[in-house]
Amino acid sequence: MTKAKITAAALSFAMLAPMSALAVGENLENLLSLIKRLVSGAIPVLVGLALIFFIVGLIRFVIAGDAEKREDGKKMMWWGIVALFVIVSIWGIVEFIASTLGITKEGPITPPGVVGVQ
Protein backbone atom coordinates (compact mmCIF):
# COMPACT_ATOMS: atom_id res chain seq x y z
CA MET A 1 0.00 0.00 0.00
CA THR A 2 1.31 3.39 -0.83
CA LYS A 3 1.62 6.29 1.56
CA ALA A 4 -1.17 8.19 -0.24
CA LYS A 5 -3.63 5.29 0.17
CA ILE A 6 -2.81 4.96 3.88
CA THR A 7 -3.32 8.69 4.37
CA ALA A 8 -6.62 8.62 2.47
CA ALA A 9 -7.84 5.67 4.54
CA ALA A 10 -6.85 7.40 7.80
CA LEU A 11 -8.62 10.61 6.80
CA SER A 12 -11.74 8.72 5.77
CA PHE A 13 -11.79 6.90 9.09
CA ALA A 14 -11.29 10.15 11.01
CA MET A 15 -14.19 11.78 9.17
CA LEU A 16 -16.57 8.83 9.65
CA ALA A 17 -15.69 8.12 13.31
CA PRO A 18 -18.19 10.62 14.81
CA MET A 19 -21.07 9.01 12.92
CA SER A 20 -20.15 5.58 14.24
CA ALA A 21 -19.92 7.02 17.78
CA LEU A 22 -23.52 8.26 17.52
CA ALA A 23 -24.66 4.82 16.38
CA VAL A 24 -22.81 3.20 19.28
CA GLY A 25 -24.55 5.57 21.71
CA GLU A 26 -27.96 4.46 20.52
CA ASN A 27 -27.00 0.79 20.75
CA LEU A 28 -25.49 1.40 24.18
CA GLU A 29 -28.76 2.92 25.37
CA ASN A 30 -30.65 -0.15 24.15
CA LEU A 31 -28.13 -2.46 25.83
CA LEU A 32 -28.34 -0.58 29.15
CA SER A 33 -32.12 -0.68 29.00
CA LEU A 34 -32.05 -4.45 28.41
CA ILE A 35 -29.64 -5.00 31.31
CA LYS A 36 -31.85 -2.86 33.56
CA ARG A 37 -34.93 -4.94 32.71
CA LEU A 38 -33.07 -8.24 33.25
CA VAL A 39 -31.62 -7.23 36.61
CA SER A 40 -34.94 -5.75 37.79
CA GLY A 41 -36.65 -9.05 37.02
CA ALA A 42 -33.87 -11.28 38.33
CA ILE A 43 -33.53 -9.82 41.84
CA PRO A 44 -36.98 -10.89 43.12
CA VAL A 45 -36.57 -14.32 41.51
CA LEU A 46 -33.16 -14.86 43.15
CA VAL A 47 -34.43 -13.72 46.55
CA GLY A 48 -37.39 -16.08 46.19
CA LEU A 49 -35.15 -19.02 45.26
CA ALA A 50 -32.82 -18.35 48.19
CA LEU A 51 -35.80 -18.16 50.54
CA ILE A 52 -37.24 -21.41 49.19
CA PHE A 53 -33.82 -23.06 49.60
CA PHE A 54 -33.73 -21.89 53.24
CA ILE A 55 -37.27 -23.15 53.92
CA VAL A 56 -36.54 -26.56 52.37
CA GLY A 57 -33.45 -26.81 54.59
CA LEU A 58 -35.55 -25.85 57.61
CA ILE A 59 -38.13 -28.54 56.79
CA ARG A 60 -35.38 -31.13 56.35
CA PHE A 61 -33.84 -30.08 59.65
CA VAL A 62 -37.14 -30.34 61.55
CA ILE A 63 -38.39 -33.66 60.13
CA ALA A 64 -35.02 -35.41 59.95
CA GLY A 65 -34.69 -38.56 62.01
CA ASP A 66 -30.94 -39.01 62.14
CA ALA A 67 -28.08 -36.59 62.79
CA GLU A 68 -26.71 -36.75 59.21
CA LYS A 69 -29.99 -35.54 57.66
CA ARG A 70 -30.28 -32.83 60.32
CA GLU A 71 -26.77 -31.68 59.39
CA ASP A 72 -27.73 -31.57 55.69
CA GLY A 73 -30.77 -29.46 56.56
CA LYS A 74 -28.60 -27.16 58.66
CA LYS A 75 -26.18 -26.72 55.73
CA MET A 76 -29.06 -25.87 53.38
CA MET A 77 -30.37 -23.28 55.83
CA TRP A 78 -26.88 -21.81 56.18
CA TRP A 79 -26.40 -21.49 52.41
CA GLY A 80 -29.89 -20.04 52.02
CA ILE A 81 -29.03 -17.33 54.56
CA VAL A 82 -25.68 -16.67 52.85
CA ALA A 83 -27.40 -16.37 49.46
CA LEU A 84 -30.00 -13.95 50.84
CA PHE A 85 -27.27 -11.87 52.50
CA VAL A 86 -25.19 -11.68 49.32
CA ILE A 87 -28.16 -10.78 47.10
CA VAL A 88 -29.49 -8.09 49.44
CA SER A 89 -25.96 -6.72 50.08
CA ILE A 90 -25.16 -6.37 46.39
CA TRP A 91 -28.58 -4.83 45.78
CA GLY A 92 -27.95 -2.34 48.60
CA ILE A 93 -24.47 -1.46 47.34
CA VAL A 94 -25.81 -0.82 43.84
CA GLU A 95 -28.63 1.35 45.24
CA PHE A 96 -26.12 3.29 47.37
CA ILE A 97 -23.83 3.92 44.40
CA ALA A 98 -26.79 4.93 42.23
CA SER A 99 -28.05 7.41 44.82
CA THR A 100 -24.54 8.79 45.35
CA LEU A 101 -24.11 9.37 41.62
CA GLY A 102 -27.62 10.80 41.29
CA ILE A 103 -28.96 8.00 39.11
CA THR A 104 -32.74 7.74 39.34
CA LYS A 105 -35.04 4.90 38.42
CA GLU A 106 -37.42 7.17 36.52
CA GLY A 107 -36.86 8.21 32.94
CA PRO A 108 -34.65 6.85 30.22
CA ILE A 109 -31.04 5.88 30.75
CA THR A 110 -28.71 8.38 29.10
CA PRO A 111 -25.34 6.97 28.12
CA PRO A 112 -22.27 9.15 28.41
CA GLY A 113 -21.47 11.21 25.34
CA VAL A 114 -18.75 13.36 23.87
CA VAL A 115 -18.85 17.02 24.89
CA GLY A 116 -19.79 19.28 21.97
CA VAL A 117 -21.21 16.48 19.77
CA GLN A 118 -24.96 16.61 19.26
Percent of the chain with pLDDT over 90: 23
The burial of 19, by beta-carbon neighbours within 10 Å (0-12 exposed, 13-18 middle, 19 or more buried), is given as exposed
Confidence (pLDDT) at 18: 60
pLDDT in tens, 9-31: 776 666 666 655 555 556 767 77
pLDDT in tens, 44-55: 888 899 999 999
Confidence (pLDDT) at 37: 78
Which backbone phi and psi does 109 adopt, to 5 degrees? -85, 125
Tell me the chain's radius of gyration from C-alpha atoms. Answer: 26
Ordered by start, the domain boundaries in the chain are 47-105
Amino acid letter, residue 98: A
Amino acid letter, residue 111: P
Is 81:54 a contact under the CB 8 Å cutoff? yes
Task: Output 117 or 51, whichever has higher pLDDT.
Answer: 51
Is 43:30 a contact under the CB 8 Å cutoff? no
Q: Please tell me the distance from the alpha carbon of residue 18 to that of residue 33, in angstroms, as a whole number.
A: 23
